[in-house]
Amino acid sequence: MVLEPHGSSLSVCTKWVAMVLNELNVPSKSFPVDLKNQKQPFGKIPFIVDDGFVLYESRAIYRYIATKYADQGPPLVPKDSHAWAKLEQAASVGLCNFDTYTYDRILSKQKYLGGDEFTLADLFHIPISTLLPRAGFHTLQGKPNWLHSRPSWQAVKETVQGTA
């Protein structure tokens, strides 16, 4: 059975899910969202259907995909408890304490947001960080190709059309 992500090409959260699927080479068939079918109780996207299992909330979806399909691509969730905690910390920064200077402060001390290895937390930040220049924020000057050169982002970036 092929995983079925449901969403919109206009949704940054849908792009996050698409990037994780791409990073892990997970076979999937995308479906345009039909909010009337109420698979997501809040009427929002994305949600996935995986062999009858329905899951919503993009960060829950990323973690599910990264865990279930971990053997199909690069490790996105560290097994080491300290590295895992750093991933969660970096993910929380993006969710709760995001400001345009956060990236520069964190990345001045380490290669990626969650430490020195690429993780799921870095994928959380890619679409949003690409929208910052549209809002007049020019951060990451020292790391112009930081994460934006990832093949998973290149595969989905053209359809991100939000405005900041």
Rg of the chain over all Cα atoms, to the nearest angstrom: 16
pLDDT, residue 161, reads: 44
Domains of the chain: residue spans and CATH: 4-72 (3.40.30.10), 81-150 (no CATH)
Which residues does 18 contact at the CB level (< 8 Å), separation at least 6? 5, 30, 152, 155, 156
pLDDT, residue 146, reads: 66
Which stretches of the chain score pLDDT less than 50? 160-164
pLDDT, residue 24, reads: 93
pLDDT, residue 163, reads: 35
Q: DSSP assignment of 92-146, as one string?
A: HHHHHS--TTHHHHHHTTSSBTTBSS--HHHHHHHHHHHHGGGGT----TT-TTT
pLDDT, residue 162, reads: 42
pLDDT, residue 141, reads: 60
pLDDT, residue 34, reads: 60
pLDDT, residue 164, reads: 33
Kind and range of the H or E element at 33? Answer: none
Query: Cα–Cα distance between 1 and 86 in angstroms, integer?
Result: 33
